[in-house]
Amino acid sequence: MVQQNELRRDAGVIIVAQRPRYTVTIGIMIAILVLGAVVSETNPYALGTRIFIVVFFGAFVALCVWIWFWKNRYRNHIEVADDAIRYVRWSGEQTVVLSRPESGELRIVRRLSDRKLFLYDRLVVPGTGGWMNLRWFSTRAVRQACLARGWRVDGAS
């Protein structure tokens, strides 16, 4: 089941929001900082040094949390309507528009990124050359939104 914050209906348009980014990376950084603070606290330091250690590590944990919120404050979204699918940046600028072909068929294709480092899903309109990158989006949520608007979707799930 798709999370409620990923799918939203708005006047005949289904909006699929990007997933939060860098959650695992920043979570690991916070875990390492907390582990460092715990290990440092077990050593027999003076009270002033212990307070400094807590403040030092606490400031970096707070910085990590702030960076996560800053990176995820403005997220892009995909608007799925009956006639077109639009990739919209957080600023409201539409960057990719996939119009409905006669068949109304879409494919979700997994392929390497342009730098050939990572696998990303793409939403492709067969026969037109039009495609949309689904990086940071739930493929399942995009598929459900397209199916709800009458598009046929084949490919990865």
Q: Are 123 and 50 within one domain? A: no
Residues 89 and 46 in one domain: no
Question: Could you give the C-alpha distances from 133 to 37, 67, 96, 108, 112, in angstroms and in order?
Answer: 40, 24, 9, 10, 11
Is 1 within a domain?
Answer: no
Amino acid 11: pLDDT: 64
What confidence tier does 142 reach under pLDDT thresholds 50, 70, 90?
Answer: very high
Can you give the residue range of the structural domain that contains 150?
A: 7-20+77-155
138 lies in the same domain as 98: yes
Tell me what the pLDDT averaged over the chain comes to. Answer: 85
Q: How far is it, in rounded angstroms, from Cα 37 to Cα 35? A: 5
Whether 2 is in a domain gets the answer: no
Residue 113 within a domain: yes
Whether 88 is in a domain gets the answer yes
- The reply to whether 90 falls in a domain is yes
Give the tens place of pLDDT for each residue, 115-141: 667 788 889 888 888 889 898 898 899
Query: Domain check: are 134 and 94 in the same one?
Result: yes
- 155's tokens: 């490919």
* Lowest-confidence segment of 7-11, 50-54, 77-81 by average pLDDT: 7-11
Residue 65 has a pLDDT of 96
Give the amino acid at 113.
Answer: S
Indicate if 88 and 122 belong to the same structural domain.
Answer: yes
The whole-number pLDDT of residue 6 equals 56
Residue with tokens 């979570």: 27
Same domain, 86 and 107: yes
Please tell me whether the overall predicted TM-score, pTM, comes out greater than 0.85 for this model. Answer: no
88 and 45 in a common domain: no
Tell me the DSSP string of the chain. Answer: ---TTTEEEETTEEEEEPPPSSHHHHHHHHHHHHHHHHHHHTS---HHHHHHHHHHHHHHHHHHHHHHHHHHHS--EEEE-SSEEEEE-TTS-EEEEEE--SS-EEEEEEEE-TTSSSEEEEEEETTTTEEEE-TTS-HHHHHHHHHHTT-EEEE--
Q: Do 29 and 11 share a domain, yes or no?
A: no
pLDDT tens per residue, range 37-68: 888 877 777 888 888 988 999 999 999 999 99
Same domain assignment for residues 97 and 53 = no
- Predicted confidence (pLDDT) at residue 7 exceeds the cutoff of 80: no
Number of domains in the chain: 2
Q: Which of 95, 140, 103 is nearest to 125 (CA)?
A: 103
* Domain assignment present for 148: yes
Same domain? For 90 and 68 the reply is no
pLDDT at 31 (0 to 100): 96
**pLDDT score recorded for residue 4:** 47
Same domain (yes/no): 16, 39: no
d(CA 24, CA 30): 10
Same domain? For 140 and 84 the reply is yes
Q: Domain of 123: which CATH number? A: 2.30.29
pLDDT higher than threshold 50 for residue 112: yes
